[in-house]
């Protein structure tokens, strides 16, 4: 009789990230024992490459500039300049979203850098806010209790953050941006969330990209239903409303001929843009606005942008490296 064959189930994206996060903390602790003196904050520096991308935003003041949330902090990219690390901390920013109107206000979630972990010994930072474009961060809710891998801002009730936590208090949370009080929502019908997007209209819908397609909630996260116009037989790995136009939405459907789809009527109907991916280079982040600006990032650290609503695309990063002449 031959040797038995063991079939291994491949990691899901969530399982992989959770395992990587736990392994990172073990490494951090080990390195902390070996290092005698650690500089608590690294100065802003130019970085030759950008990898492990988790989120994107377009600078509201200068749409030519992009913010990229990565495994090692926030990076800013401008035309004809090397990528630059923003601020002093190198947090692993797993969830990231920008305020649609206030240019310096951004939110994030994730894991600490080495210096911060040695100070607090907390592996999950909860909800973070920065009021200076990512130069400094403050943990304002669920520190040590939640790890949001998908995050979005809604203008409802003076501002609310919706986040999908994959550790600690798992599931969908709603956090007030005025009081920082949070609640975990029942989110009936929602599971395996990969991306979240809130309408810029306070009365608009919430969207969630999941392993089972695109889901929508019209009661602010309580009940979720499939978006019928988007195929349910493939994951939707990224979704984004336009920053100011609630009619315009972009989503990536991860099929063999994966497309960034665009809706001009709030998600009722969809049409493909010219970007075509594949199962090996999945789009993991999207950001739209102001104007016709759209930006995407893939699993192999490509970043592309469109200035015409997805009709044409220009490569900004190729496998994490700046593209010469990109603008």
Q: What are phi and psi of 201, to 5 degrees?
A: -85, 120
The strand pairing partners of 260, in sequence order, are: 252
Give 229's contacts (C-beta < 8 A, 6+ positions apart): 263, 267, 268, 269, 270
Dist. CA 112–CA 120, nearest whole Å:
9
Pick the range with the lowest mean pLDDT from 34-38, 87-91, 146-150, 318-322: 34-38
Q: What is the pLDDT of residues 177-223, one digit of tens each?
A: 999 999 999 999 999 999 999 999 999 999 999 999 999 999 999 99
Helix (H) or strand (E) holding 208: strand 206-210
pLDDT at residue 23 is higher than 50: no
Pairing of strands 283-288, 294-298: antiparallel
Q: Which fold has domain 47-322?
A: Methylamine Dehydrogenase; Chain H (2.130.10)
Query: Is residue 303 left, alpha or beta, with left meaning phi > 0 and alpha meaning psi from -120 to 50?
Result: beta
The strand pairing partners of 68, in sequence order, are: 56, 75
Of residues 229 and 324, which shows the higher confidence score?
A: 229
Return mean pLDDT, the chain: 88
Average pLDDT score over residue span 66-95: 95
Q: What is the pLDDT of residues 246-273, one digit of tens each?
A: 999 999 999 888 899 999 999 999 999 9
Please tell me the predicted confidence (pLDDT) of residue 48: 78
Identify which of 246, 295, 298 has the alpha carbon closest to the alpha carbon of residue 268. 246
Please tell me the predicted confidence (pLDDT) of residue 213: 96
**CA 127 from chain center: how many Å?**
13
Question: What is the rounded end-to-end Cα distance, in angstroms, of the chain?
Answer: 62
Is the dihedral angle over the CA atoms 300, 305, 308, 313 positive or is it negative? Answer: negative
| pTM metric for this prediction | 0.85
List strands edge to edge, sheet with 321-322. Answer: 283-288, 294-298, 303-306, 314-318, 321-322
Per domain, the residue ranges of the chain are: 47-322
List strands edge to edge, sheet with 160-168. Answer: 146-154, 160-168, 171-176, 182-184
Dist. CA 144–CA 126, nearest whole Å:
6
Residue 116, classed as helix, strand or coil, is helix
Query: Is residue 264 left, alpha or beta, with left meaning phi > 0 and alpha meaning psi from -120 to 50?
Result: alpha
Give 178's contacts (C-beta < 8 A, 6+ positions apart): 157, 158, 159
With tokens 């240019």, the residue in question is 103
Residue 237, classed as helix, strand or coil, is strand
Query: Is residue 78 left, alpha or beta, with left meaning phi > 0 and alpha meaning psi from -120 to 50?
Result: beta
């Amino acid at each position: 009789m031959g040797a038995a064959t063991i079939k291994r189930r491949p990691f899901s994206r969530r399982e992989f990230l959770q395992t990587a996060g736990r392994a990172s903390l073990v490494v951090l602790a080990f390195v902390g024992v070996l290092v005698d003196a650690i500089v608590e904050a690294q100065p802003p520096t130019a970085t030759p490459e950008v990898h492990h991308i988790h989120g994107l935003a377009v600078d509201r003041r200068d749409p030519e500039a992009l913010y990229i949330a990565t495994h090692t902090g926030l990076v800013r990219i401008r035309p004809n300049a090397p990528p630059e690390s923003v601020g002093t901390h190198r947090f692993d920013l797993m969830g990231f979203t920008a305020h649609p109107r206030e240019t310096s206000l951004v939110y994030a979630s994730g894991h600490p850098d080495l210096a911060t972990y040695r100070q607090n010994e907390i592996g999950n930072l909860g909800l973070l806010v920065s009021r200076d474009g990512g130069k400094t961060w403050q943990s304002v809710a669920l520190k040590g209790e939640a790890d949001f891998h998908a995050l979005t801002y809604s203008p409802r009730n003076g501002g609310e953050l919706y986040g999908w936590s994959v550790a600690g208090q798992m599931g969908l949370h709603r956090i007030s941006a005025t009081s920082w009080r949070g609640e975990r929502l029942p989110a009936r019908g929602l599971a395996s969330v990969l991306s979240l997007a809130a309408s810029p209209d306070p009365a608009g819908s919430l969207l969630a990209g999941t392993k089972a397609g695109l889901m929508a909630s019209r009661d602010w996260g309580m009940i979720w239903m499939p978006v019928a116009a988007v195929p349910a037989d493939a994951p939707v790995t990224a979704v984004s409303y336009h920053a100011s136009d609630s009619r315009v939405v972009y989503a990536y459907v991860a099929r063999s001929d994966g497309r960034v789809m665009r809706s001009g009527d709030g998600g009722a109907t969809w049409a493909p843009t010219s970007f075509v991916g594949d199962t090996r280079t999945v789009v993991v982040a999207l950001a739209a606005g102001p104007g016709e600006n759209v930006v995407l990032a893939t699993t192999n650290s490509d970043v592309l942008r469109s200035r015409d609503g997805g009709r044409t695309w220009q490569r900004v990063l190729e496998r994490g490296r700046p593209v010469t002449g990109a603008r």
